Amino acid sequence: MRALLSVTDKTGIVELAKNLNSLGVELVSTGGTYKKIKENGIDVTEIDKITNFPEILEGRVKTLSPYVHGGILYKRDNEKHVNTINELNIKPIDIVVVNLYEFQKALEKGNPDDIIENIDIGGPSMVRSAAKNHKDVLIITDPKDYDELIDRLKNDNIDLAYRQKLAMKAYNFTAFYDSVIARYFSNLTGEESIYKTYGFEKESDLRYGENPGQKAALYNDPFVKGLMENIEVIHGKEMSYNNFNDLNPAIELAEELGENAVVALKHQSPCGVAVGDNVYDSYIKAFECDSQSIFGGIVAVNGVVDEKAAEKMHEIFLEIIAARDFTDEALNILTKKKNVRLVKVDYFNELVTEEVKYLNGKVLIQDKDNGEDEINVVTNKKPTDDQIKDMLFAQKVVKYVKSNAIVVVKDMKTLGCGAGQQSRVWALESIKDHFKDRDFTGSVLGSDAFFPFPDTVEIAHEMGIDAIIQPGGSIKDQDSIDKCNEYDMSMVFSKSRHFKH
């Protein structure tokens, strides 16, 4: 039996070589792997003794040879294949241990020449050849599989199911590797082909999905350094599927609103959002928006949680508190509760540029809703500068509220978020009915889409709302404009719709 070892990640390779050698397996190796094995006193043959040809082009060509691929790909139970191999004096290769050039690391460093040189050619070719002929050849691409390989060889326990599992891992490995390269060239050229590739690397299994009967896992997208890329859970229980799912929009909105923003979120929709003079001020304002819904929710802070803010947060049960950082005094307070998850977020990471939604056999891909809202006054009365600030704040928030969505804002804090209603009027009525004693005088209203009728304006007027921002675009826009003029309200068309389903 003969094994070919050619790895970039040399974790465990010396121990593997020793074990294979002790089992009587002849070793063939390449470049740095050969040197590593040889310098540890293990008997190994260099690849050019097999190919009868030296490595050329700075290592670009070393294993692309019939003496390698013929030894891997021939069918052991096919007489014609066996005769061909014997006639050409090609020796069999029964085990292939390969992992690939570190393209991702080269990508992170950003040197264009280095990126191209780290596109592996020979490695994926050997992996695919061995995986194709898995019935006769064992293909190992993961150092974590070395121990099982040796154990099975020692116990003569190499069955077809094991071979197929290794082939599955091998093809997933090369597909993942190629997907990263494909995305690099798409980004480089700004072009897309008819094929869209994503490569995800499993980070961990989760206890369950949205409900206990659903399996779930967390995967990492190595091509995107987004806000969720290097979050750090520094205290509390293990994160769940729902925790990750809710944390994402909370920190996205906090990032978009900037310094000192606090976002309280429950079940994928904000329930209280504010930007104050400091984190404590912002939290108090966000809490006051909906002190009931925030219970058991998520709080995202674009800033550092200090002792004063921590004391207030500690007063109620929160699933997650996510922030840029926590002072030592804040940690002393918040860690008294064993179950609250404290998460550190790098708000300086890049934002993702697209969203992917998997349907039942189809996939939807769209750009992220990162457009800026305009201020086009369409009424006789103009909004004040402070109202315009509140309007733009409202439209940032409304992007994260499930449609149909209405957000009411005053002084850079939400007074109500109406989410997920079949009617935009109902969304506003839900705010009005839920906060019966709240003073909405002088507030502004933000809407995710246009008003088909003036009834929303009528209810807003009843509540004391003084200004409205909405995209416009209805054939009955003038009806809403006329109603605002009748009530001496201002209205602004933003030109940007913000549906979130």
The set of catalytic residues is 132, 267
Helices (H), 341-498: 385-398, 424-434, 455-463, 477-486
- Residue 292 pairs in a beta bridge with none
Separation CA 71–CA 85 (nearest Å): 8
- Residue 309 pairs in a beta bridge with none
Residue found under tokens 């909370």: 250
- Residue 299 pairs in a beta bridge with 264, 321
Cβ(98)–Cβ(72) below 8 Å = no
**Cα-trace Rg, the chain:** 30
Separation CA 192–CA 243 (nearest Å): 33
- Residue 3 pairs in a beta bridge with 27, 95
Cβ(176)–Cβ(198) below 8 Å = no
Q: Phi, psi at residue 194, to the nearest 5°?
A: -75, -10
Omega before 404 within 30 of 0, i.e. cis: yes
End-to-end CA, the chain: 58
Residue type at 173? F
Cβ(279)–Cβ(260) below 8 Å = yes
Cβ(43)–Cβ(23) below 8 Å = no
With b for 16 or more beta-carbon neighbours within 10 A and e for fewer, the 97-125 pattern comes to: bbbbbebbebbeeeeeeebeebbbebbbb
Residue type at 183? R
DSSP 8-state assignment for residue 9:
S
Separation CA 290–CA 273 (nearest Å): 10
With b for 16 or more beta-carbon neighbours within 10 A and e for fewer, the 185-211 pattern comes to: eeeeeeeeeeeeebbeeeeeebeeeee
Q: Phi, psi at residue 323, to the nearest 5°?
A: -150, 165
Residue type at 461? H
Cβ(353)–Cβ(370) below 8 Å = yes
Separation CA 272–CA 250 (nearest Å): 11
Cβ(317)–Cβ(295) below 8 Å = yes
